[in-house]
Amino acid sequence: MTQAPVGAAGRIVTGAEYVKQITALESDRRARAAFHDLVLRIAPRGAPVLDFGCGTGIDARFYAERGFTVLAYDVDPQMCDFFEQQCRDLIAAGRVSLERGDYRSFLARGGARGIALVASNFAPLNLISNLRELFARFAELTGSDGRVLASVLSPYFIGDLRYGWWWRNALRLWREGCFSVAGAQAPIVRRRLADFATQSEPYFTLTRVFPGRPRQDACGIEFGPGRGRAWLRLTTCRYMFLLFEKPLGPKAQGRGSGGRHG
């Protein structure tokens, strides 16, 4: 489910070829390092982490080698095959476990509880049209103070303004909060911050946003009422990192974000 590069003739790139392509660009390496840095700052040391859309295991290995216990999931069989090869030592040691299978099965199955942080890197959430049911599943898997940290494609990135698909969908983005374009694996959905906030409720609340680059503001950008221009600080990054936290009480369960904040 990790957003994979596309090779010649529209072929989806997986496995070793995916690793080669996703690590070739300096910008991608910097974005991954920035996301890793945030995980280390947010997740309690040694805590259980769910790597959602784990791809080939680059992130899972990083987390496990720094003391976290990692549950990983991906829908792509070839990605999972490569993951098992690359992380076999950590799997044997009990530091990493991999769940495979189709997405609907992931939503329905039982399993681990008490996950401290769901980490989803390189835009798996942009491949999912209905995020509310996914956040419901994350809520089941996490403890009362569980969090979700997701790297997603920014609809505000000025580098995309060169493309016709952005301009054809700009009005829809403003009015409806999201739009989708064709992708190699599935339609790629780009969402405004307010739409991510709405989709996560009532299970999580979007609290902070971080530009997807190294040396981002340690505190991020607070998201909520009166923060309607947070998106202006996200225009220079292809990715933005979103931090979701569980609401504190019953009143928060009904709190809505509407379309007010970005």
Residue 221 falls within a domain, yes or no? yes
Quote the pLDDT of residue 194. Answer: 94
Mean pLDDT, the chain, whole residue set: 87
Render pLDDT for 183-193 as a digit per residue (tens, 0 to 9). 887 899 999 99
Render pLDDT for 81-113 as a digit per residue (tens, 0 to 9). 999 999 999 999 999 999 999 999 999 987 778
Residue 95 falls within a domain, yes or no? yes
Quote the pLDDT of residue 6. Answer: 38
Residue 78 falls within a domain, yes or no? yes
Report the pLDDT averaged over residues 45-66. Answer: 96
Residue 179 falls within a domain, yes or no? no
Question: Judging by DSSP bridges, how do beta strands 69-73 and 142-153 pair with one another?
Answer: unpaired
pTM: 0.87
Tally of residues, the chain: 262
Q: Apex CA 13: angle with CA 8 and CA 16, to 5°? A: 125
Residue 60 falls within a domain, yes or no? yes
Alpha helices in the chain (DSSP H): 15-22, 26-42, 58-65, 77-86, 88-92, 103-108, 131-141, 164-176, 193-200, 250-253
Identify the three-state secondary structure at position 43: coil
Residue 57 falls within a domain, yes or no? yes
Rounded-to-10 torsion of CA 45, 47, 50, 55 = 40
Report the pLDDT averaged over residues 7-21. Answer: 55
CA distances in angstroms from 244 to 69, 183, 218, 255, listed in the order given: 21, 26, 16, 14
Question: Domain limits at 211?
Answer: 8-154+192-247
Q: Which amino acid is at 151?
A: S
Residue 3 falls within a domain, yes or no? no
Residue 184 falls within a domain, yes or no? no
Domain count, the chain: 1
CATH number at residue 242: 3.40.50.150
Give the Cα separation of 121 and 28 in Å (integer).
11
